[in-house]
Structures are given as C-alpha cells and as structure tokens.
A and B are shown apart, each in its own frame.
Chain A
C-alpha cells in the first residue's frame, strides 16, 4: 500500500510541471503587458524598465519559467503585483474559506446522494424514482450562477432570511465566538446550498445506475434465493459493490467542484481562493494566477489520489492485486 502511494505521489511531479508549463506560457504569450495596468501611463521609460526588470519580465519566457520553477520548488511563488504580499500567503489566507465551503458541500452531497440513488434504484419506475430522475436532470442543466442568483433573490432579497453576500458581518466582530460562528454559518447557507444542489444531481444519477447494475447480478439473486431479508440483501450485499464506481466519480468531480467554486464565490462575494483567482485574472496578476493554478491542481490531484485509495478501500480485489 505504501509503495502504491509513493508511486502515485511521484507521478504527480510531471503532471504538475505540465500544468505550470501550460499556464505559464498561455499567460506570457498573450499580447499586452501587465505593467500597463499597474503603472501611470506617463511613466518614464527608464522607470518602466526598472519595474519590468524587478518583476523579471525583461528576460526570455523560457528563462522566466525556469526562474519561476526554481523558486516555486523552494516554496517561493513570488509576490502579488497588487499587494506586494507573497503569493503563498495570499493563497493560504483564502484557502480555509474555500475548503470550508467545498468540504462541507462534499460531505453533504455524500450523505444525500447515496441514499437518494439507492432508494431511486430500488423503486425503479415508481413515482419516487421518476421525481428524483427529473430533478437530477434539471439540476445538471441549471447554470450554477443562475441557481445562486435565484436562491439569493428568494431567500436574501424577497424573504430577507439570510445574508446575500460575504462571509462575516463586520458589526459582529466584537461578539463572542458562538455568535460569530453562527454568523458564518448563516452566510454559508446560500453558497453551500448552490454548490451542493449542483453536485447532487450528477452523482445521484451515477449511484442509481450503479445500484441497478449490481442488483441485476447473480450473487444478488443467490442472496435472495437463500431467503435473506431484502434489507440485508440491499444494504449489506449490494450497497458496497455499488459504491465502487461512485468513489471514482467523486474524484473526477473535483475539478468541476473547483470550477463551480470560482463562480459561486464570485456571486456570493465569498472571500475564498476562487474569488481571488477571478480577480487575479481580471488584473493580470501573473504570480498570483500561477500560484492559484498550481494550488488548485495540487488539491485536485490529491483528491484523485484519495479517490484511488478509497477505491482500494471499498474493493478488496484491487487491494489484493496491488500487493
């Protein structure tokens, strides 16, 4: 098992280099110059040249890339053009807010989607199944930002139950810890609901399909023929095998979840990495964009690795074959 993990971790290195290479060249081959956005248009040419040299923009792209890579390997991702802060600090500062949102949504999704998919498969063709099917198709077809806007319209604008944007209420800064946590939870509900509803739809479909497939297999018929109660057949025999493909899907859905986070954070002004990233793109803040791309790529790859490990956990065949 340990060998497997180490090998997988080593495989991440070329992937990461590829990711950073592509994003670096995409950004730097583009026409235009980031200095134009941050400096006075009437600046002295000598002064401009000094700033460009300071940011390393005067060297050939290849040199710039290796310079960046060398620094990145030592944990230095450069400084943000706008704030002058090290990129790594900016990202780490925003990361908890994003992770809070993503992990909670992930857990919620799991707890809702698996029972939904299973029940839907057991009751195939009945009313419950049809309702779930229609709703999950609708969920897949809904643009994330539109769902976010609609929830905001209903719960924040019309009903005024929940705050529309942000993560904290600045007025509550001096209140006790309990009040502040409650405040964050209140701010979290809408973005969390948006994110969860959207990832629910697809995964419920997969869970249903995989459960149906398992239920058609011989060993389930055997279990039923033995006279086992239906509950044991389903929850003990069928459920476990039906989870195997879902683990993969959960890993594969990570990039999508990240993409969703970029948009959802922007709408709800959630102070996370996604919103930072969208801002960095608008500002052409190269070092910050690079930092965020690499960070999210690492998180996505680690997520996939976890999914593979989870795979081995639910499927003994893989576990034993790997030994």
Chain B
C-alpha cells in the first residue's frame, strides 16, 4: 500500500509537487511549515517538491537497475544450469570473481571513470548486482532440468533456446520475482549511497541520496534536510522488503504444508 502510494507520487510528481524542484522559491533553510511542508534547503528550494521528484528518480533508477541485473542474472544462470559441465564451471567462477569485490567499491570505481549521470548509475548498479540472481536461477534450472517435461521437449526436437526460455523459465519464475523485489530495495539503497558520495544522480536533479549529501553541511542548523530524505528511503525500502517477503510466502509451495 505504502509502496503503491510512492509509485503514484512518482508518476504524478508534477501534479503533486507545489513548486519546481530546481527553482529557488524562498529564503534558505526554513524549518517545515504549512507553506513548505518539509521546509526549504540550503538554496531555498522546497524540500517537499524535491522529495516528490526524488521519488520519481529513485524508483526509476531502482526499477531499471534491477531489470538489468535480473536480465543478466537469468541469462547466465539459465545457461549455466541448463548446460552444466564446463560452461557452468566457467560462468560460476566468473560469478565468484564478481562476488569477491566489495561491490560498492567496484561501482564507485566504474562511476568515477564514466560521467556520473542517471543512466550510468542504472547501468552500473545493474551490471554489478546480477550474481545472486545467477546463482539462484542456476539452482532452479539444475532442479528443473531433471524433470520429465524437459526430456519430452527434447525428444520432440525443441531447440535448446526454446526449452530454456519457453519451457523452463516459467517454472523458475517465482524465485526470480522475489529476488527482483528485494533487488530493487538494494538498488535504491545503492543509488542513494552513490548519490550521497556525489557519484550518482547529479545536482540539480533531486534524488534522495544527493539531497542527503547537501544536508550534510547543515546538520546543526537544518537537521530536517537530513532527516526527511533518509526516512523516505527507509520507508520505501522497508515496504519493498515486506512485499518481497509476502511474495516469498505466497509463491512458496512448501510453506503451505509447514
């Protein structure tokens, strides 16, 4: 429900936000009031409007990044799990290598080399977070591969590609959906951390992370600048976790007899 609210806010941002998020509308660092619900920031911009637009950006980045990571992860996982043997060994060693990086460091390093903008943030988060999905999908495929309908499909001469994507993928869907929800939560967290370090979404475009970066210097005089975006991130990520957990329970056939 909360999540739905955030999505709606993100979609209808221009209608909801009372001011332009990038425009200076008032004097600096006013505390929250009726006119400016969340107060104003160090440049005199309306924090409520910035937060509303920030929702749009944070959610979009999360969604696109997680789509990329699910796409790569599913592809690698499916191929590794279906073919097994040498292909599997090679892909899984690659996964191990990627997992040995402290991921935030890798992300920062790549971001520093590219121009930090919103598209690169999405891509970089996507290509550094697919490993968990790959492991998961591989596990599912290893299980499904042994089932009779796969054998039947092979017997009637379906191509490998058709078996992998048409026949097996629907049966591996449930854990992928759960992973996507939880992955989106972590993508939003990573985006905010990146923007906070100045390597993510660039000002003046508002994102919850870079709003926090701005807030850092005004902790004593304008604590609301720091408190509000953080709470928004927390609530969004929390609701994604709850949705993910709910989906996990709903989609897990083992839970029913337990």
Tell whether A pairs with B: yes
Contacting pair B114 A30 (CB below 8 A): yes
Secondary structure at chain A's binding surface: helix, strand, loop or mixed? helix
Q: Which among A60-68, A224-232, A281-289 touches the partner chain?
A: A281-289
Within 8 A of A (CB), among B93-128: 93-94, 96-106, 108-110, 112-114
Binds B, one of A42-50, A83-91, A136-144, A308-316: A136-144
Q: Is the interface of B mostly helix, strand, loop or mixed?
A: helix
Q: Are A300 and B102 closer than 8 Å at their CB atoms?
A: yes
Q: Which residue of A lies closest to B231 (CB)?
A: A146
Q: Cβ of A30: which chain B residues have Cβ within 8 Å of it?
A: 113-114
In the complex, the number of residue pairs spanning A and B with C-beta atoms less than 8 Å apart equals 131
Contact of A19 among B97, B104, B192, B220 (CB under 8 A): B97
Q: A150–B230 contact, CB under 8 A?
A: yes
| Nearest chain A CB to B182 CB, angstrom units | 10
B16 in contact (CB, < 8 A): no
In the complex, A156 Cα to B70 Cα: how many Å? Answer: 41
User: Is A53 located at the chain interface by the 8 A CB criterion?
Assistant: no
Taking a contact as CB atoms under 8 Å apart, the answer to whether B112 and A23 are in contact is no
In the bound complex, do residue A255 and residue B103 qualify as a contact, i.e. CB atoms below 8 Å apart?
Answer: yes
Measuring CB to CB, which residues of chain B are less than 8 angstroms from any residue of chain A?
93-94, 96-106, 108-110, 112-114, 185, 189, 192-193, 196-197, 209, 212, 215-216, 219-220, 223, 226-227, 229-230, 233-235, 237-238, 241-242, 258
A-B contact pairs, 12 of them (CB 8 A): A18-B96, A19-B100, A141-B189, A141-B234, A141-B241, A143-B212, A150-B230, A153-B219, A259-B103, A263-B104, A292-B105, A293-B109
Pick the 9 closest A-B CB pairs, nearest first: A30-B113, A146-B230, A18-B97, A259-B104, A258-B102, A141-B237, A141-B238, A259-B102, A297-B100
What would 15 more interface pairs be, CB under 8 Å, given A18-B96, A259-B104? A15-B96, A15-B97, A18-B97, A19-B100, A26-B106, A30-B114, A141-B235, A142-B233, A149-B212, A149-B226, A153-B219, A157-B220, A263-B197, A300-B100, A301-B100
